[in-house]
Chain A
Amino acid sequence: MSATITTRQVGDVTVIDAAGKITLGEGAAMLRDQVKTLLAAGNKKILINLGEVNYIDSSGIGELVSSFTTVSNQGGQLKLLNLTKRVHDLLQITKLYTVFEIHDDEAKAVRSFS
C-alpha cells in the first residue's frame, strides 16, 4: 500500500493522518511537504496519526525527527498518535521513543497541546 497523507483540524491542532508506507521515495517526502505547508500557514500544533502506517524505514523515521526539529525550532509542537507495533518497536530501537511525546488517545492528545 502506497502512502497517503491527509490533514484535518481539531480545534487549533492539525492532525496529519498518515497511512501506508512511510519510506524513501514514498511517504517520507509527502510528510515533509505537508509539515512545511502547515508551518507556512502558521499551523504549529501538529499531531501525526500513525495508526494506519504499516511500514516505515530509516528515511521515514528520519523525516519524523526532522519534522519534529523543524516544528520545535519554529516554536511549535509536534506529537505522535497511535503507533502501530512496528513503528513503536522501531522508535524504541532507535531510542527516539523518549524524544517524541506519544499518545494513544486522540482527544487527550489534542488537549495536551499548550
Chain B
Amino acid sequence: MPGTTETLLDSNLESVDSAENMAVDAAKTLGMDEDTCMDLGLAVREAMVNAVGHGNKYSPDKKVRYILDTRSDSLHITISDQGEGFDPNRVPDPTQGENLLRGGGRGLLLIQTFVDEFEVRKSASGGAEVKIVKYAN
C-alpha cells in the first residue's frame, strides 16, 4: 500500500528487529519474493545496527529516525541517527587482504550488495543519514 510512515526508534537491538520487520512486511505487500525480502531486511538490519551502535552508541537519550516510503514499484527507506556521521569512503574495504580477518566492518558492503540504491549523507542533526532504495521488479 503506497504511503510514508515515520517512526522514532530507541537505540537498541529491539529497534533493529522492528525496522527490519517493517521493511520486510512492506516488501511483501509489493510482491517481492522471499529472497528479495530477506536481502532488503538484511540491508536495513545492517544500517540500523550502524545507527544504534556506531551512531547513537546505544544511548537511551538518542533516537533513530526511520522513514519508510512505500511506492507502487519500490521501497525508499531513510535511517537517520544522532551520532557524528561518517564518510563511507573512509571505511576500509573488508574484502582486501589486510582487512579480511577483521571481526567487523562488513555492514556497508552487505547493504550495497543487497539494495538497488544506497546513499550516506549528514543528517540535519549532524548524524548519519542512510537512504536505501529497493525496486520490486
> Contact at B49–A59, with CB atoms within 8 Å?
yes
Q: Which of A6-14, A34-42, A87-95 sits within the interface?
A: A87-95
Interface of B, helix, strand, loop or mixed by DSSP:
helix
Would B42 and A57 count as touching, CB distance under 8 A? yes
Tell me if A58 and B107 are in contact (CB < 8 A). Answer: yes
Residue interface bits A58-84, CB-to-B below 8 A is 1, else 0: 110111011011000000000000000
| A62-B101 contact given A23-B45, A94-B95, CB 8 Å threshold | no
Q: Count how many chain B residues have C-beta atoms less than 8 Å from C-beta atoms of the other chain.
A: 20
**B29-73 to A contact mask, C-beta < 8 Å, 1/0:** 000000000100010011001000000000000000000000000
Q: List the A residue with the shortest CB-CB distance to B110.
A: A58
In contact, B46 and A65 (Cβ under 8 angstroms): no
The docked-state distance in angstroms from the alpha carbon of A107 to that of B46 is: 36
Chain B residue contacts of A86, Cβ below 8 A: 38
Residues of A within 8 A of B (CB): 23-25, 55, 57-59, 61-63, 65-66, 68-69, 86, 90, 93-96, 99
- B: residues with CB less than 8 A from A are 13, 16, 38, 42, 45-46, 49, 94-95, 100-107, 109-110, 113
